[in-house]
A and B are shown apart, each in its own frame.
Chain A
């Protein structure tokens, strides 16, 4: 492990960065669309029992934000990927209507702020978990307090529960899974022309 790997500070986006980021978001949409087919079976009864528990699988929506940033490593990657993912969802028909764009941008922002706080220099496991939690937090806040939020009419305690579940889900599903995926991808060699090409050999915590 050389220290040079984390010194990459080139902040301009190349064409390859843009297209790969967009396609990660699009592929994320396809994966989640496929997953939700099965998840509907679980989510409907969960929703009928205690709706805030649905926050626990909200993290799936935020994978593009964290994964995109872990691979591209350019400012704005989390925001861009999540925005594109939301656009893709809108194109496929979203139950949230055009407000899905706002949720997408806010979730992306939650992750983006965490990476920005580390000056876009840390892409390790703790940062990923925090970024996922950040995206989840913003998702929970948006759903609970924005006028278009689905949980706007919930009682305060239920809102709080939902937000906490969202943040946990964001950290575990979007944060941890994305980090594992990025390392796996780096091992396959497909990231050889990206800033993250050495992700597999970088230390986990520093």
Chain B
């Protein structure tokens, strides 16, 4: 968990781009993909994204380690869409409330690919973006209020600590006779108790952290920045890349005749 939030050792080219530029590119791709459920635009975008991965310092084995829950989730999303979307074309499967037709299967497949094509760029974005750099960009370039941005950044640093504490509290409660094993009801009660314990510690820590920050002069109206958030030529390329992938996906879908605007679907 602790490693998940650091970029230790990542020297890839995209780590040097401004987080806002990367975010804009990813968001553009996401929006365009969201407009249509079709397998063509999704697969083109997915293919382009996979090509960009090395630029973010990601390898495919790393992607598999981090990304398999996302793949599972996308598959489940595709399945539920297949059985729940209105049927069209030949019926392939009809068991009680489940029915899968050619049309809904195609929709489900498109949905699966689209889900992946939306989830992957976010993994890409985060694997090459340091939270500190993101906060700097948000406060200096996007002009969000620095008290909120830096307060959140300081709290995020404690994620790893909270995850460790979660495990410790779990053991400490077992040592008191609260079992985290057993039937779902017992497990849920144990989880609720453990969550409460974690919340108490989280609030104690946050209160002390706030004192530390205030004692270092934090909270005033103005401040200087030791790190400057800048835009460079690289950022132009990043945004341009985003535009190209988005446009390529739309063009391919229009050419193949699969473009399928979401709001027109099913009516």
A residues adjacent to B (C-beta < 8 A): 13-16, 18-20, 22-27, 29-31, 34-35, 38, 42, 44, 47-48, 50-52, 71, 80, 84, 87-88, 90-100, 146-148, 150-155, 158, 177, 181, 184-185, 188, 190-191, 193
Contact = CB atoms under 8 A, between A and B. Distances in A.
Given A23-B205, A98-B26, A154 B84 contact: yes
Interface stretch (B10-18, B71-79, B233-241): B71-79
B86 A155 contact: yes
A98 B210 contact: no
Q: Per DSSP, are chain B's interface residues mostly helix, strand or loop, or mixed?
A: helix
Nearest to B26: A98
Interface in B229-267: 262-263, 265-266
Contact of A51 (B80, B121, B195): B80
A117 B172 CA distance: 42
B207 A20 contact: yes
Contact of B191 (A34, A71, A150, A184): A34
Contacts of A24: 199, 202-203, 206
Contact of A22 (B122, B131, B155): B155
Interface in B71-109: 73-74, 76-77, 79-81, 83-86, 97, 107
A148 B81 CA distance: 13
Nearest to B123: A93
A126 B131 CA distance: 38
Give the one of B158, B196, B202 with max A CB within 10 A: B202
B154 interface: yes
A183 to B, nearest CB: 11
A147 B262 contact: yes
Contact of A91 (B121, B156, B191): B156
A93 B67 contact: yes
Interface of B: 4-5, 23, 26-27, 30-31, 34-35, 37, 66-67, 69-70, 73-74, 76-77, 79-81, 83-86, 97, 107, 111, 115, 118-123, 125-126, 131, 147-148, 151-152, 154-156, 158-159, 162-163, 166, 184, 187, 191-192, 195-196, 198-200, 202-207, 209-211, 213-214, 218-219, 262-263, 265-266
Nearest to A154: B84
Nearest to B150: A18
A88 B159 contact: yes
Nearest to A188: B200
A89 B83 CA distance: 28
A80 B118 CA distance: 24
B136 to A, nearest CB: 15
Contacts of B191: 31, 34-35, 38
A148 B5 CA distance: 26
Contact of B70 (A19, A47, A95): A95
A16 B31 CA distance: 36
Contact of A190 (B81, B203, B219): B203
Contacts of A19: 151, 154-155, 206-207, 209-210, 213
B207 A98 contact: no
